[in-house]
Amino acid sequence: MDTQQRTGEQGPVPFRSSRFFCVGSKWYFTTREGFDSGPFASRERAEIGLKRFLHVVRLLPEEQQVH
């Protein structure tokens, strides 16, 4: 869990957890919206999957972006 304040944050640090989790030997990532993606063969592959997901989200028009 990340317990440090991020740039621009004020007040108490909100609860944070990792976007990555492992079930058995398979890795997944989760989004703020509660979408789980996977399975991936390794955490590294899950990290690549998350980067690709975020890249696609940034390409969406502003009104269609998930937050």
Reported pTM: 0.68
Sign of CA dihedral 54, 55, 57, 58: positive
pLDDT recorded at residue 7: 75
Least confident of 5-9, 36-40, 57-61: 5-9
Residue environment code for 25-36, b if the CB has 16+ CB neighbours within 10 A, otherwise e: eebbbbeeeeee
Average pLDDT, the chain: 84
**What is the per-residue pLDDT across 25-57, written as a single tens digit (0 to 9) for each?**
999 999 888 899 999 999 999 999 999 999 998
